[in-house]
């Protein structure tokens, strides 16, 4: 699946945003405005001015809505949720080549809030996945104690864990130890 750089960046951003949610024993990753600034800076989100408590709450709301897209039972439901997100953000597509990047499309309006910026750009990235018929690539980690979001970009859509070196490896080691214990008669 060929994904343009800006779409891939937006997909990474939406996944990282979703994974700031307090779930599965993880605390709130966006617990204050300082954390929001760090998220914005870490993801090189452009055209963001001063941030405040309202921005933090709005970004948390967008995060919740992205979570609903990932949890949607079918493409029609996911499409409706994406349409709502993108429309509410006042999407205004424009070509740009800022900060040393080649031409790419920004979907947020000039001067948009950080929440609208995320809703528009990340929402359009999710729309790209849906239009390509690849909604099943929007996944949650199958490790019982994890549940982090990820986009499965493997060739055969077979990725099961958010990180094969942590969640995947941990479960494989546990299964191996259980088999050894069973074989040794300790079962």
Strand partners for 140: 149
- Least Cα distance to 47 among 90, 110, 92 occurs for 110
Q: What is the pLDDT of residue 103?
A: 83
Q: Which pTM does this prediction carry? A: 0.84
Phi–psi pair at 33, nearest 5 degrees:
-65, -35
The residue that leads in pLDDT, 5 or 45, is: 45
Q: What is the pLDDT of residue 61?
A: 97
The residue that leads in pLDDT, 172 or 3, is: 3
Cα–Cα distance for residue pair 16/171, rounded to 1 Å: 23
Q: For the segment 113-142, what is each residue's pLDDT rounded down to a tens digit?
A: 999 999 999 999 999 999 999 999 999 998
Q: Are 37 and 67 in contact (CB under 8 A)?
A: no
Beta strands in 38-176 (DSSP E): 94-96, 104-106, 138-140, 149-151
Q: What is the pLDDT of residue 104?
A: 78
SS3 category, 61: helix
- Least Cα distance to 144 among 29, 24, 64, 26 occurs for 24
Q: What is the pLDDT of residue 47?
A: 80
Whether residue 108 is predicted with pLDDT greater than 80 in this model: the reply is yes
Cα–Cα distance for residue pair 12/10, rounded to 1 Å: 5
Q: Are 53 and 33 in contact (CB under 8 A)?
A: yes
Q: What is the pLDDT of residue 168?
A: 65
Q: For the segment 140-185, what is each residue's pLDDT rounded down to a tens digit?
A: 998 888 889 999 988 888 888 887 666 866 655 555 565 667 777 7
Q: For the segment 21-64, what is each residue's pLDDT rounded down to a tens digit?
A: 998 678 999 999 999 999 999 998 988 889 999 999 999 999 99
Q: What is the pLDDT of residue 164?
A: 61
């Amino acid at each position: 699946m060929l994904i343009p750089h800006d779409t891939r960046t937006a997909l990474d951003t939406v996944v990282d945003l979703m994974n700031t949610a307090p779930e599965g024993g993880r605390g709130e990753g966006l617990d204050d405005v300082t954390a929001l600034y760090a998220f914005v800076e870490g993801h090189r989100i452009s055209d963001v001015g001063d941030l405040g408590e309202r921005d933090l709450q709005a970004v948390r709301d967008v995060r919740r809505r992205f979570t609903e897209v990932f949890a949607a039972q079918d493409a029609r439901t996911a499409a409706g949720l994406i349409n709502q997100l993108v429309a509410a953000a006042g999407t205004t597509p424009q070509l740009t080549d800022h900060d040393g990047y080649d031409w790419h499309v920004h979907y947020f309006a000039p001067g948009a809030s950080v929440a609208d910026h995320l809703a528009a750009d990340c929402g359009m990235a999710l729309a790209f996945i849906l239009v390509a018929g690849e909604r099943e690539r929007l996944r949650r980690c199958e490790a019982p104690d994890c549940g982090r979001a990820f986009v499965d970009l493997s060739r055969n859509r077979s990725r099961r864990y958010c990180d094969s070196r942590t969640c995947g490896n941990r479960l494989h080691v546990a299964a191996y130890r259980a088999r050894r214990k069973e074989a040794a008669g300790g079962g």
